[in-house]
Amino acid sequence: MKRIVRVMLLGCLAAPAPALAQVPYDRLVKAESEPQNWLMYAGTYKSQRYTQLDQINKQNVTQLKPAWVYQLRVGGVFETSPVVVDGVMYMTEPPSTVTALDVRTGRPLWSWTPKIPDDVIVIGSPPVNRGVAVLDNMVYAGSIAGHLAALDAKSGALRWDVAVDDNKIGYYLTLAPLAIDGKIIVGVSGAENGIRGFVDAYDAKTGKRVWRRHTIPASGEPGNETWGGKDSWKTGGGSTWLTGSYDPDLKLLYWQVGNPGPDWNGDYRPGDNLYTCSVLAINPDDGSLKWHFQFTPHDTHDWDANETLVLFDATVNGRARKLLAQANRNGFYYVLDRATGEFLNGTAFVKQTWADGLDAKGRPRLKPGLDPNPEGILVYPSIQGAANWHAPSYSPRTNLFYQTAVEMGTIYYKGEAVYKPGIGFTAGGGRTINGDDAWSAVRALDATTGQLKWEFKLLSAGRSSLLSTAGGLVFGGTEEGNFFALDADTGKPLWDTQLGANIRGIPVSFAVDGKQYVAIAAGFALFVYALP
Amino acid sequence: MMKRWLWAGAIGLAISAMPVRAAAQNKADIDGGKLLFQGMCTECHGAGAAGGDAPPLNRPKLLHAPTDAALANIIENGIPNTAMPRVRRMTESETRQLVAYIRSLGKVADVKVPGDVRKGGDIYKSLGCATCHIVNGQGGNLGPDLTDIGFMRGPSYLRQSIVDPGAALPKGVLQVPSRGYSEYLPLRIVTKQGGEVRGIRVNEDTFTIQVRDQAGKFYSLRKADLELLEKQTGKSLMPSFSNRLMPAELTDLVAYLASLQGEP
């Protein structure tokens, strides 16, 4: 009884939204206008992961103190990016649990765990979940069982559940879905299983699938000619395992596509292997393709292009442009015109040894002889990439693109693989040159040119997700457990604390009762910090 | 980088130089397991199971898999709370092949290491190795515990660690620092106040470093307070004994170390 009363009170104190449409689409479009909330995976449809909150700033960040901690009940790799709506946090616990927390205290309001079969297949990543989407009065989450579920935002009760695709042949979900007008968009993991990837749209109310956009063209479709070998397109990978971005004005959905399969032996699939390692601009009404850009044609190093796509507007060569930027796993930072897909700029942001730069259209000029081979060959960046799922941030205040760049090489090996449903289909692998011989750096790049403005070195070759703030800060976390804040203008470290385990979580910021908080998952716990 | 290659090369040599035990699983199983391993396991465990993001498996003793049954169980069920997934949907024969292949990488023959173990033990005492090393609970704590060093390392590696210790700094033995980092890395540190510390790295993160000096004194330092942090990669606090041992004595000392197989 107490719990119900408290939840109702909370609702009364919170936003003046209608009871049955807690987060209508219009609020998502205008997410920037309510910085006290963090309404979707990367903050807004632009995926800038920037907060306009400035209560915590350069002057007072040294005073940050823990506000509360939420401990996982079952351990696991904890990569969540929480969503916060009107005093309630919706976050995911590994492998696929959704939990709602009271942001004032960290006390759980409800928790929901899907059925995961004992023989679930998760190959290619740890069994993680990176977050939820909210729309109207529902919360949406994927699972490693390959399902998408819609939960009642107030109670956690299941409204509907659909199998996105068959986990027995390797499909699974780790990403936060993206909610747009009446639709829930998801992608899939599984490119190490010989899947054929896709982006799906589901009716938000019923769970009925509205469209499916395959990332690998079928026989007879344009692009299929880039798949040599017998039926190689059928097992060609092209997973879509991280959340895309959206431009409601252009009405274009941008989604990133992963590596071709098998990963490290391209002999099975001669050709460019469209649309793997690409970005797709998709019409959200029917899933049709407006344009595409391929970063790494015929990839043989597992440099999938699933990294977050950041949307921003700027003047390039005297012309105002709507832009899309990505720090790609292959080591180059790309800037495209997001209306047309035109390549505008590409600059290496880490040590890379595989390409003599990019040509005028953005295609890499390959150095010869750097494909994996049976004896092994050292190539930079590493098998985990110069970038990966860890989140970049863009600050409109500084026009800087913040990215944790991983400086690491790998000795790549080519092997053989026979496709068998549900079994790894990778044909090789690699040995990373890690430890003292590898490192990462938080780098601030001029967002339009990719030019390095500053860097802050991290000890380990970790994957620090970043959050930039109107308070002039960049928050991140290290592999060794340091939660830190840098000066967004200079990179100077301003504050750090040790959270006791590797930080895989993605920082977000929100406010309640006029107080700003910063949250990040580390080890098996979610930590929330605020000023005293 | 060069040193690391030397070190990795030394291990490779130590393993490949030894013949596989005759009673190994049949070759067809091993070959089948190798193909499966390339498809599923090399991404994390590295080619030839030499280690990558996940630990190397080309060694005789595996932390989580003392027996073949335990290894098969891990392949089928994963290791909870680690990145090691379940690899389900495998037939029994496929699991058997994978186990055969992984075990074949770690099999070391019961060949006799040349040299006189007893004489080697005397040399160990006379050189004062126990000042810095523990064997069966006895000795100093500055360097690695050698109680089961003959089980963990091959004779070539042991020989190199005596002749050129800096090229043979261990990795992946201790739980701290984390895997991949050189253990017992010598440091020279000068603080902004002018103090100097020489010792080995115990642990480190982006903002701090933990050090132990030769006297055993512990230091916790913030990097922002340091004028100099010199990581003496390729060096070791242990001196080279190459000029202090006759070839036969070196062989005897290696034989003694190789005989250290852990407490019964």
The residue written with tokens 């092994």 in the block is A376
> Quick one: pLDDT band at residue B3, thresholds 50, 70, 90?
very low
**CB atoms closer than 10 angstroms to residue A249:** 10
CA angle A507, A522, B42 (to 5 degrees): 105
Q: What is the pLDDT of residue A13?
A: 45
Distance CA A388, CA A421 (A): 26
Phi, psi of B75, rounded to the nearest 5 degrees = -60, -40
Give the nearest partner residue to A121 out of B45, B88, B224, using CB atoms.
B88
> Quick one: pLDDT band at residue B211, thresholds 50, 70, 90?
very high
Distance CA A245, CA B181 (A): 38
Q: Say yes or no: A191 contacts chain B, CB-CB below 8 A.
A: no
- Among A193, A127, A125, CA closest to A427: A193
Every domain of chain A and the residues it spans: 2-530
Question: CA of B120, closest CA in chain A: separation in Å?
Answer: 34
Per the prediction, chain B carries an average pLDDT of: 82
Higher pLDDT, A320 or B66: A320
Q: Could you tell me which residues come within 8 angstroms of residue B247 by beta carbon, excluding any fewer than 6 positions away?
A: none
Residue of B nearest to A485 (CA): B207
Q: Say yes or no: A525 contacts chain B, CB-CB below 8 A.
A: no
Contact present, A398 and A486 (Cβ < 8 Å): no
Q: What is the pLDDT of residue A102?
A: 97
Half-sphere exposure of B218 (CA within 13 A, CB side): 5
A267, burial (CB in 10 Å: exposed 0-12, middle 13-18, buried 19+): middle
Distance CA B196, CA B191 (A): 6
Higher pLDDT, B177 or B229: B229
Question: CA of A154, closest CA in chain B: separation in Å?
Answer: 31
Higher pLDDT, A251 or B153: A251
Q: Which residues pair with A432 in a beta bridge?
A: A410
Taking each helix axis from N to C terminus, what angle separates B155-163 and B247-258, rounded to the nearest 10 degrees? 130
Q: Say yes or no: A484 contacts chain B, CB-CB below 8 A.
A: yes
- Among A236, A275, A271, CA closest to A254: A275
- Coil, strand or helix at B149: helix
Q: What is the pLDDT of residue A3?
A: 42
Determine which of A198-207, A325-334, B91-100, B121-130 has the lowest per-residue pLDDT on average: B91-100
Question: In a structure prediction context, what are the per-residue pLDDT tens digits for chain A, which is 532 residues long?
Answer: 344 334 333 444 444 444 456 999 999 999 999 999 999 999 999 999 999 999 999 999 999 999 999 999 888 999 999 999 999 999 999 999 999 999 999 999 999 999 999 889 998 889 999 999 999 999 999 999 999 999 999 999 999 999 999 999 999 999 999 999 999 999 999 999 999 999 999 999 999 999 999 999 999 999 999 999 999 999 999 999 999 999 999 999 999 999 999 999 999 999 999 999 999 999 999 999 999 999 999 999 999 999 999 999 999 999 999 999 999 999 999 999 999 999 999 999 999 999 999 999 999 999 999 999 988 899 999 999 999 999 999 999 999 999 999 999 999 999 888 898 988 898 888 888 888 999 999 999 999 999 999 999 999 999 999 999 999 999 999 999 999 999 999 999 999 999 999 999 999 999 999 999 999 999 999 999 999 9
Determine which of A180-194, A208-222, B34-48, B209-223 has the lowest per-residue pLDDT on average: B34-48
Distance CA A176, CA A133 (A): 6
Q: Count of A–B CB contacts within 8 Å?
A: 138
Residues of B in contact with A378 (CB under 8 A): none
Phi, psi of A511, rounded to the nearest 5 degrees = -140, 150
Strands A209-214 and A245-247: unpaired
**Would you state the structure tokens that stand for residue A473, as one six-digit string?**
């800060």
Instruction: Look up residue A531 and give its DSSP letter.
Output: -
Residues of B in contact with A302 (CB under 8 A): 43
Taking each helix axis from N to C terminus, what angle separates B2-16 and B155-163, rounded to the nearest 10 degrees? 140
Contact present, A329 and A387 (Cβ < 8 Å): yes
Long-range contacts of B183-188 (CB under 8 A, 24+ apart): B183/B144, B184/B143, B184/B144, B184/B236, B184/B237, B185/A436, B185/B231, B185/B232, B185/B233, B186/B231, B186/B232, B186/B235, B186/B236, B186/B237, B187/B211, B187/B229, B187/B230, B187/B231, B187/B232, B188/B228, B188/B230, B188/B232
Instruction: Look up residue A172 and give its DSSP letter.
Output: B
Q: Say yes or no: A262 contacts chain B, CB-CB below 8 A.
A: yes
Q: Could you tell me which residues come within 8 angstroms of residue B22 by beta carbon, excluding any fewer than 6 positions away?
A: none
Determine, for residues B233 and A436 on separate chains, whether the beta-carbon distance falls below 8 Å.
Answer: yes
- Position B19 pLDDT exceeds 50: no
- Position B5 pLDDT exceeds 80: no
Q: Which residues pair with A256 in a beta bridge?
A: A279
**String of b and e for A475-486 (b: at least 16 CB within 10 Å)?**
bbbbbbbbbbbb
Q: Could you tell me which residues come within 8 angstroms of residue B130 by beta carbon, excluding any fewer than 6 positions away?
A: B124, B138, B139, B140
A474, burial (CB in 10 Å: exposed 0-12, middle 13-18, buried 19+): buried
Contact present, A426 and A417 (Cβ < 8 Å): yes
The domains located in chain B, with CATH, are 19-106 (1.10.760.10), 186-231 (2.30.30.100)
Cα distances (Å, whole numbers) of residue A168 to A162, A163, A235, A315, A498 = 15, 12, 14, 48, 40
Cα distances (Å, whole numbers) of residue B216 to B200, B212, B219, B238 = 10, 6, 10, 15
Q: Could you tell me which residues come within 8 angstroms of residue B200 by beta carbon, excluding any fewer than 6 positions away?
A: B142, B184, B185, B186, B187, B211, B212, B237
- CATH H-level superfamily of A2-530: Quinoprotein alcohol dehydrogenase-like superfamily (2.140.10.10)
Task: Find the mean pLDDT for residues B30-51.
Answer: 80
Distance CA A398, CA A43 (A): 18
Q: What is the pLDDT of residue B108?
A: 57
Distance CA A477, CA A6 (A): 34
**CB atoms closer than 10 angstroms to residue A208:** 11
Strands (E), A349-416: 355-358, 364-366, 377-379, 393-395, 400-407, 409-414
Contact present, A40 and A25 (Cβ < 8 Å): no
Determine, for residues A119 and B89 on separate chains, whether the beta-carbon distance falls below 8 Å.
Answer: yes
- Active site (annotated) includes residue A302: yes
Distance CA A415, CA A429 (A): 8
**Would you state the structure tokens that stand for residue A301, as one six-digit string?**
């190093």
Task: Find the mean pLDDT for residues B106-120.
Answer: 80
Residue of A nearest to B201 (CA): A436
Question: CA of A214, closest CA in chain B: separation in Å?
Answer: 25
Task: Find the mean pLDDT for residues B60-74.
Answer: 86
Amino acid (1-letter code) at residue B263: E
Q: Say yes or no: B43 contacts chain A, CB-CB below 8 A.
A: yes
**Would you state the structure tokens that stand for residue A165, as one six-digit string?**
């695709």
